Amino acid sequence: MPSIDLDTIDRYILNKLQKNGRLSNVQLSDEVGLSESACLRRVRILEKSGIIDRYVMLINQSAIGKPGNVFVRVTLDGQQREKLAAFETEISRVSEVMECYLMSGDFDYLLRVISRDNEDYVRVHNKLTSLPGVMRVQSSFALRTVLEKTEMPLDIKM
């Protein structure tokens, strides 16, 4: 992935798009003080370089009936490349798993799972324990969300 140096205008563009990915190029160019063509050129460079990864819509998980967050620590019965790959392939098929991280330390993976309620999580837990190589699953239920961010800090210099 090519590396580019972000200047203040690039950071402003990224900041505005993180807050509202539906901004039109006309609106964005007006907000950052560039011509429409210059703004579009910069956005295309940010996309091509991989700095803009993708555009998404965020859904309120409570509004769709899945208010619960469960953080799950998974330990496999070995860390051979094939075992990790098999687990990672299968975990990507469990739709309730929103995030999965390979970890250092006392367990192998940390997952964030969404669920309707405890009973719904039991169903997901049964899926998790049947995945290849899973030796142990430890679950912690979030009591409430204190902070949730989607915007990356961009260190904009004024």
For the chain, domain boundaries:
8-48, 68-141
pLDDT at 109: 98
156 vs 12: which has the higher pLDDT: 12
> For 48-69, what is the mean pLDDT?
96
Asked if the model's pLDDT at residue 113 lies above 90, the reply is yes
> For 96-110, what is the mean pLDDT?
98
pLDDT at 60: 96
pLDDT at 155: 83
> For 131-140, what is the mean pLDDT?
98
Asked if the model's pLDDT at residue 158 lies above 80, the reply is no
Q: Two tokens at 126?
A: 């049964």
pLDDT at 2: 56
pLDDT at 149: 94
pLDDT at 1: 54
> For 49-75, what is the mean pLDDT?
96
- What's the mean per-residue pLDDT of the chain? 95
pTM of the model: 0.88
pLDDT at 4: 79
Q: How far apart are CA 106 and CA 156, in angstroms?
A: 37
> For 6-16, what is the mean pLDDT?
95
- What would the CATH number be for the domain defined by 8-48? 1.10.10.10
- Which is nearest to 52 in space by CA: 26, 28, 27? 28
Q: How far apart are CA 2 and CA 12, in angstroms?
A: 20
Q: Does domain 68-141 have CATH number 3.30.70.920?
A: yes
Q: How far apart are CA 112 and CA 6, in angstroms?
A: 32
